[in-house]
Homo-oligomer: A and B are copies of this chain.
């Protein structure tokens, strides 16, 4: 699967988008993420795997825990794709992209 497709796929599920919003505040272990949802840890773990495959999060081991972190570069494929529609979907997008690029440096 292309990186672009993996990222769009990862964003397509509302649970996964919620997880990303959660990780915006601070890094979380799998169990911590799972506490916020009415589903099993196994299900949450699958979502985290999809997010990782899509490059939207990174995972590091800390003892027996797995700490999930938001990846700042993860949405690049999406922003790059949206860029193609600047002329149609307004220059709001190019503005967004410009600021994001600057912020990464």
Interface residues, chain A, CB within 8 Å of chain B?
2, 5, 8-9, 11-12, 14, 17, 20-21, 24, 70, 72, 74-75, 78-79, 81-93, 95-96, 99-100, 103-104
Contact = CB atoms under 8 A, between A and B. Distances in A.
Main secondary structure of the interface of A (DSSP, over half): helix
Given A78-B82, A79-B96, A95-B103, 16 more contacts: A9-B12, A11-B12, A24-B88, A70-B85, A70-B89, A75-B82, A75-B93, A83-B96, A86-B96, A86-B100, A90-B104, A92-B103, A95-B96, A95-B99, A96-B99, A96-B100
B87 A24 contact: yes
B88 A93 contact: no
